[in-house]
Amino acid sequence: MQNLPPLAERMRPQNLDEYVGQQHLVGPDAVLRKAIQSGQLPSMIFWGPPGVGKTTLAYIISQALDRPFFNLSAINSGVKDIREVIEKAAGLKDSFLGMPILFIDEIHRFSKSQQDSLLGAVERGLVTLIGATTENPSFEVISALLSRCQVYILKSLDEHELSGLLHTALKKDAVLKEKDITIQDHEALIRLSGGDARKLLNVLEIAVNGIGGKKIVLTNENVLEHAQQNLALYDKAGEQHYDIISAFIKSIRGSDPNGAVYWLARMIEGGEDPLFIARRLLILASEDIGNANPNALLLANNCFQAVNVIGYPEARIILSQAVTYLASSVKSNASYEAINSAQQLVKQTGNLPVPLHIRNAPTKLMKNIGYGKDYKYSHGYEGNFAPQEYLPDLISGTKLYDPGKNPAEDKMREKLKQNWKDKYNY
Question: pLDDT tens-digit profile of 265-294?
Answer: 988 877 778 888 999 999 999 999 999 999
* CA dist., res. 87 & res. 381, Å (int): 69
Which of the pair, 94 or 359, is modelled with greater confidence? 359
Measured CA angle at 68 (ends 81, 118), to 5 deg? 40
* CA dist., res. 148 & res. 339, Å (int): 30
pLDDT band at 426 (very low <50, low <70, confident <90, very high): low
Average pLDDT over residues 161-170: 88
302-350, pLDDT tens digit by residue?
A: 999 999 888 888 999 999 999 999 999 999 999 999 999 999 999 898 8
> Are 204 and 162 in contact, with CB atoms under 8 Å apart?
no
Note the pLDDT of residue 81.
80
Note the pLDDT of residue 118.
83
The residues, any chain, with a CB within 8 Å of residue 100's CB and separated by 6 or more, are: 67, 68, 69, 70, 88, 89, 92, 93, 126, 127, 128
If you average pLDDT over every residue of the chain, what do you get? Answer: 85
Burial class (CB in 10 A: 0-12, 13-18, 19+), 139: exposed
**Identity of residue 305:** Q
φ and ψ at residue 149, rounded to 5 degrees: -125, 145
pLDDT band at 224 (very low <50, low <70, confident <90, very high): confident
290 CA to centre of own chain = 21
Which long-range CB contacts under 8 A does 159-167 form with residues at least 24 apart?
A: 159/186, 159/190, 161/20, 161/21, 162/186, 162/189, 162/190, 162/193, 162/195, 162/197, 162/200, 163/190, 164/20, 165/11, 165/20, 165/197, 165/200, 165/201, 166/200, 166/204
* CA dist., res. 133 & res. 47, Å (int): 5
Which of the pair, 104 or 301, is modelled with greater confidence? 301
172-202, pLDDT tens digit by residue?
A: 888 888 888 888 888 888 887 777 888 888 8
* CA dist., res. 330 & res. 293, Å (int): 7
Specify which residues 183 forms β-bridges with. 218
φ and ψ at residue 6, rounded to 5 degrees: -60, 155
Domains and CATH numbers, the chain: 21-153 (3.40.50.300), 159-234 (1.10.8), 240-328 (1.20.272.10), 353-424 (no CATH)
Element (H, E) at 131: strand 128-133
pLDDT band at 233 (very low <50, low <70, confident <90, very high): very low
Average pLDDT over residues 258-264: 93
Rounded to two decimals, the pTM is 0.58
By residue count, the chain amounts to 426
Note the pLDDT of residue 237.
44
Closest CA to 285 of 314, 249, 316: 249
> Are 267 and 334 in contact, with CB atoms under 8 Å apart?
no
Note the pLDDT of residue 97.
63
Helices and strands (DSSP H and E) totals, the chain: 20, 7
Average pLDDT over residues 389-418: 90
Closest CA to 279 of 245, 229, 312: 245
Note the pLDDT of residue 406.
92
Percentage of the chain lying above the pLDDT 90 cut: 24
> Are 238 and 272 in contact, with CB atoms under 8 Å apart?
no
* CA dist., res. 26 & res. 17, Å (int): 9
The strand order across the sheet containing 128-133 reads 69-73, 101-105, 128-133, 44-47, 150-153
**Identity of residue 93:** K
Percentage of the chain lying above the pLDDT 70 cut: 94
66-118, pLDDT tens digit by residue?
A: 888 888 887 777 777 888 888 887 777 666 567 788 898 888 888 777 888 78
Closest CA to 61 of 37, 79, 84: 37
φ and ψ at residue 153, rounded to 5 degrees: -95, 120
Note the pLDDT of residue 212.
80
Give the sign of the dihedral formed by CA 170, CA 175, CA 177, CA 180. negative
